[in-house]
């Protein structure tokens, strides 16, 4: 009998396997699960076996994040990081302190501020000028669809009242046309390209710092949703390749290669070459990211009918489709034929429809090739399109944390959608009932990377720590905990084509997480109190709580 390298006993095990959802012991041999069961598993314990007594704690499959920007997040943590507050005075204090602590930096860069902190989501250059008047400052907002610049940054980029808006963005302006300091979507790149580029060492350090943090949250695999240059941000691809080659990449990662929306099909051979060059070890660059629209808060999410104004009247703006919908069908068909997985950013209902139309065109032309195309964000899904996910095999890549009442939703989104469309937001329950496959992710550093917090909101449709009087956000769209957990484990494993992960089953890779409690045994309102104690990838411990 082959003895196990590692055995877990003494606690509940949530397998995620419908045939046997619970067990009390699990054995690992050679990085894979050798047995799942009960007392009989102890027979695999030998002199060299490490035995972990769970002491009643819950063992689950490792979390997998279906949409994250790990390198950017890691670099942002090491720069001027504003994610810990929503107070304008706190932002300015943090920026000033960071600038004072780093006199050697030509530019002050970073991000993490929230749209809800400013009237209309529009900060001004003059605010930043108060704390850093002598150097350019450029700070991405939390959703990374816009940035806040001071006067020196605007001047360094040559932006004036005469500078036209780019086709894929907008320069917010003062009454006389002077740039106000807020840049939307593609306009960020007009300034970002002038900031000093991050070095390869910066990118690698960002990845490894992010990996340590993600492992501490129980995340064992992810899909990085943007490998390429965009908005002045550097291409993080080299960091992944370096870490994969030297063995410091302990997570399993799929990279989504950026589709340059200013180009067309001529870039496809380059994507094929990058896929071949970048795939190594635990890193595969087998997806292509197409950002089809923007976000609702700055009115660039693509809608099937116009946004409303502050008085509730229809405007002339229905958002932006960054890729022509007819061209999108051709591009997705070509990518599908080459066995790329397409990772769509599709937030508004028109963008969702355009992405589904493109998947439908690819299936019609190529048949079902099993490429597991997926649509991320899904803030608005027209009811007519909900059944199409299952029919087309398109995966619903959800970011559960956003599906709750909070200022950005209540002040910057719902009033400009109106009640009918506001009720179409984040329809997780409808998608599930219609047979869609759900995968889950965070979009970190846009929002918190903590899977437990995402589970909490998916189940409760309230933010962790919300006032009990806060209304549940569209309660009919709540998921049960087992379904939400499956989206963060087996669902994303399916999306990432990591088909021997996501479930605790003999033969599967031993990507495992020990939680400090069993959230199934407590009220749903307490899910967010759960903490990660240990994380394993391939049976190797990559995190242990102190």
**Percent of all residues in the chain with a pLDDT value above 70, rounded to a whole number:** 100
pLDDT of residue 116: 85
CA distances from 113 to 95, 180, 215, 378 (A): 11, 17, 25, 23
> For 147-160, what is the mean pLDDT?
95
Q: How many CB atoms lie within 10 A of CB 435?
A: 11
Same fold, 107-193 and 200-496: no
205: its two tokens: 């350090």
Quote the longest CA-to-CA distance of the chain: 81
pLDDT of residue 88: 93
Q: Distance between CA 400 and CA 426 in Å, rounded?
A: 8
> For 452-459, what is the mean pLDDT?
98
Q: What is the pLDDT of residues 123-139, one digit of tens each?
A: 999 999 999 999 999 99
pLDDT of residue 185: 87
> For 455-472, what is the mean pLDDT?
96
Interhelix angle 325-337/268-278, rounded to 10 degrees, is 40
Report whether pLDDT(247) > 90: yes
Report whether pLDDT(279) > 90: yes
pLDDT of residue 413: 94
DSSP code of 314?
A: B
Q: What is the pLDDT of residues 54-73, one digit of tens each?
A: 999 999 999 999 999 999 99
499: its two tokens: 């088909």
Give strand pairing partners of 227.
257
Q: Are 475 and 231 in contact (CB under 8 A)?
A: no
pLDDT of residue 197: 83
pLDDT of residue 78: 84
pLDDT of residue 546: 85
338: its two tokens: 């080459």
Q: Distance between CA 221 and CA 282 in Å, rounded?
A: 9
> For 326-341, what is the mean pLDDT?
98
Q: What is the pLDDT of residues 346-380, one digit of tens each?
A: 999 999 999 999 999 999 999 999 999 999 999 99
pLDDT of residue 63: 99
CB contact burial 129-146 (16+ within 10 A = b; e otherwise) = eebbeebbbbbbbbbbbb
pTM: 0.89
Average pLDDT in the chain: 95
pLDDT of residue 281: 97
> For 226-242, what is the mean pLDDT?
90
Question: With bands split at pLDDT 50, 70 and 90, how would you rate the model's confidence at 405?
Answer: very high
Q: Domain extents for the chain?
A: 107-193, 200-496
pLDDT of residue 235: 95
Report whether pLDDT(238) > 90: yes
**Residues 6 or more apart in contact with residue 139 via CB below 8 angstroms:** 80, 82, 95, 108, 109, 110, 111, 112, 113, 128, 147, 148, 149
Report whether pLDDT(140) > 80: yes
Report whether pLDDT(541) > 80: yes
Domain 200-496 maps to which CATH number in 3.20.20.140, 3.30.70.100, 3.40.50.620, 3.20.20.100?
Answer: 3.20.20.140
Report whether pLDDT(224) > 90: yes
412: its two tokens: 């910057």
pLDDT of residue 86: 86
Q: Distance between CA 174 and CA 124 in Å, rounded?
A: 9
Q: What is the pLDDT of residues 165-197, one digit of tens each?
A: 998 889 999 999 999 999 998 899 999 899 888
Question: With bands split at pLDDT 50, 70 and 90, how would you rate the model's confidence at 99?
Answer: very high
Closest CA to 527 of 441, 454, 448, 438: 454
Report whether pLDDT(97) > 90: yes
CATH number for the domain whose boundaries are 107-193: 3.10.310.70
Q: Distance between CA 442 and CA 435 in Å, rounded?
A: 22
DSSP code of 233?
A: B
> For 298-313, what is the mean pLDDT?
94
CA distances from 470 to 16, 466, 467, 473 (A): 32, 7, 5, 9
Q: Are 536 and 8 in contact (CB under 8 A)?
A: no
CA distances from 452 to 83, 429, 524 (A): 18, 19, 12
Report whether pLDDT(77) > 90: no
Closest CA to 77 of 241, 215, 211, 252: 211
pLDDT of residue 421: 97
Report whether pLDDT(233) > 80: no
């Amino acid at each position: 009998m082959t003895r196990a390298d590692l055995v877990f006993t003494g606690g509940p095990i949530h397998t995620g396997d419908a045939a046997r959802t619970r067990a009390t012991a699990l054995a690992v041999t050679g990085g894979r699960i050798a047995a799942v069961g009960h007392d009989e598993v102890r027979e695999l314990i030998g002199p060299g076996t490490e035995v972990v007594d769970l002491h009643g704690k819950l063992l689950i499959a490792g979390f997998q994040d279906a949409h994250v920007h790990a390198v950017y997040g890691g670099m942002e943590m090491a720069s001027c990081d504003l994610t810990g507050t929503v107070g304008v005075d706190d932002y300015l204090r943090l920026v000033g302190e960071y600038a004072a602590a780093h006199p050697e930096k030509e530019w002050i860069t970073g991000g993490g501020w929230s749209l809800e902190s400013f009237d209309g989501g529009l900060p001004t250059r003059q605010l930043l000028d108060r704390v850093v008047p002598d150097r350019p400052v450029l700070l991405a907002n939390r959703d990374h669809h816009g940035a806040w610049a001071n006067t020196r940054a605007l001047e360094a980029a040559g932006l004036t009242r005469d500078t036209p808006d780019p086709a894929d963005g907008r320069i917010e302006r003062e009454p006389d046309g002077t740039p106000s300091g807020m840049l939307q979507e593609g306009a960020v790149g007009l300034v970002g390209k002038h900031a000093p580029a991050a070095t390869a060492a910066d990118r690698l350090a960002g990845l490894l710092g992010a990996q340590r943090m993600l492992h501490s949250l129980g995340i064992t695999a992810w899909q990085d949703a943007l490998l390429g240059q965009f908005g002045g941000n550097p291409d993080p691809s080299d960091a992944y390749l370096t870490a994969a080659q030297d063995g410091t990449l302990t997570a399993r990662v799929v990279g989504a290669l950026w589709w340059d929306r200013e180009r067309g099909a001529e870039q496809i051979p380059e994507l094929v070459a990058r896929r071949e060059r970048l795939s190594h070890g635990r890193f595969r660059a087998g997806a292509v990211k197409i950002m089809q629209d923007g976000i609702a808060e700055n009115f660039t999410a693509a809608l099937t009918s116009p946004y409303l104004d502050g008085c509730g009247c229809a405007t002339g703006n229905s958002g932006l489709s960054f890729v022509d919908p007819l061209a999108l069908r051709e591009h997705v068909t070509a990518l599908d034929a080459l066995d790329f997985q397409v990772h769509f950013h599709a937030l508004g209902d028109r963008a969702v429809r355009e992405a589904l139309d493109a998947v439908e065109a690819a299936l019609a032309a190529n048949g079902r090739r099993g490429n597991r195309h997926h649509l991320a964000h899904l803030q608005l899904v027209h009811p007519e399109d909900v059944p199409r996910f299952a029919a087309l095999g398109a995966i619903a890549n959800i970011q559960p944390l956003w599906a709750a009442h909070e200022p950005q939703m209540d002040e910057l989104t719902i009033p400009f959608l109106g009640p009918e469309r506001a009720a179409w937001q984040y329809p997780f329950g409808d998608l599930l009932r219609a047979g869609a496959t759900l995968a889950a992710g965070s979009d970190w550093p846009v929002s918190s990377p903590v899977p437990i917090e995402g589970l909490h909101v998916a189940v409760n449709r309230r933010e962790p720590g919300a006032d009990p009087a806060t209304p549940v956000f569209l309660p009919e769209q709540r998921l049960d905990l087992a379904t939400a957990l499956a989206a963060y484990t087996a669902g994303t494993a399916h999306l990432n084509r990591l088909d021997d992960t996501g479930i605790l089953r003999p033969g599967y890779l031993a990507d495992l997480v020990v939680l400090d409690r069993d959230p199934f045994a407590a009220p749903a309102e307490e899910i967010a109190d759960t903490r990660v104690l240990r994380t394993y990838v391939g049976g190797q411990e990559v995190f242990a709580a102190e």
